[in-house]
Amino acid sequence: MVCFRLTHGYPMKTETYHQATSFPAFFAYFTAMKRALQMIMFLSVVALSCHSAQQDAAQGIRGKVTWFEGDLMPGPGRDIPTGKPIERTILIYPLTNLSQVKGSAPLFESVAHEPLQRIRSNAEGTFTANLAPGFYSILIKEDEGLFANFFDGNDNIHPVEVKQGTFTQVEIEVNYKAAY
C-alpha cells in the first residue's frame, strides 16, 4: 500500500507511514493547493481590472491653452505672436451645437447641459483629459463667459473626436481681446 506524508510542504510517497496518518498530510497538501489556486485567481482578476482601467484611460484629449491680446495685425518687420500659456478651467461637454447654448460666439452665457469634465490647465497651459472614445466640445471658462472660437460646418462648438487608444492633440487660442 502506498501512503503520503508531508515533507517540506510537499507530499512524499512512502511505504513506512500507516494509511491513517497519511490522509491528514494529503488533505493538508490539497487544502494548501486550493488556497494557492484561489490566490492566483484573485490576483489575476485584480491584474485584469487594473489593465482595463488603464485601457479606459489610454485615450482622451491633450492640449495647450494660450492667451492672445492686443494688436496682432501682421505686417512687415512684425514677429508672429506665439501667445502666453495660461491656467484656465476647461469644460468638456458632449458634442454641443450652437442651438444648445445661450449667447453668441466667442463668449457664451451658458450651455443647455452640464459638462462631463472640468479640468484645469497648468502654468504652462497644458492639460490632459482621459475620455472614452467619442465626440466632445471644449469651452474655456473666462470671467466674461464660456469661450470658444472654433466651429465645424454643422455649427458644433470646438468639436474634438477621441479615438480608442489615442490622445487627440488640441491647441486652444483664447483671443477674444486680440485684434487681427
Q: Which of the four pLDDT bands, split at 50, 70 and 90, describes residue 13?
A: low
Same domain (yes/no): 145, 109? yes
**Which single residue is written with the C-alpha cell 518687420?**
77
Whats the size of the chain, residue-wise?
Answer: 180
Same domain (yes/no): 77, 46? no
Same domain (yes/no): 101, 160? yes
Same domain (yes/no): 25, 76? no
Helix or strand holding residue 93 (H, E): strand 89-94
Last residue of a domain, one of 56, 75, 100: 56
Q: CATH number of the domain that 110 lies in?
A: 2.60.40.1120
Domains contained in the chain, number: 2
Query: Contact 42/149 with Cβ under 8 angstroms?
Result: no
Amino acid at position 128, single letter: T
Same domain (yes/no): 33, 78? no
Same domain (yes/no): 38, 125? no
Same domain (yes/no): 21, 110? no
144-175 residue pLDDT tens: 999 999 999 999 999 999 999 999 999 999 99
For residue 37, which phi and psi values (nearest 5 degrees)?
-65, -40
Same domain (yes/no): 106, 157? yes
pLDDT over 80 (residue 130): yes
Structural domain for 19, as ranges:
3-56
**What's the CA gap between 38 and 161, in Å, rounded?**
42
**What's the CA gap between 137 and 36, in Å, rounded?**
50
pLDDT at 124: 98
Same domain (yes/no): 104, 150? yes
Same domain (yes/no): 158, 103? yes
Q: Which of the four pLDDT bands, split at 50, 70 and 90, describes residue 93?
A: very high
Residues in Cβ contact with 30 at an 8 Å cutoff, skipping those fewer than 6 apart: none
Same domain (yes/no): 158, 111? yes
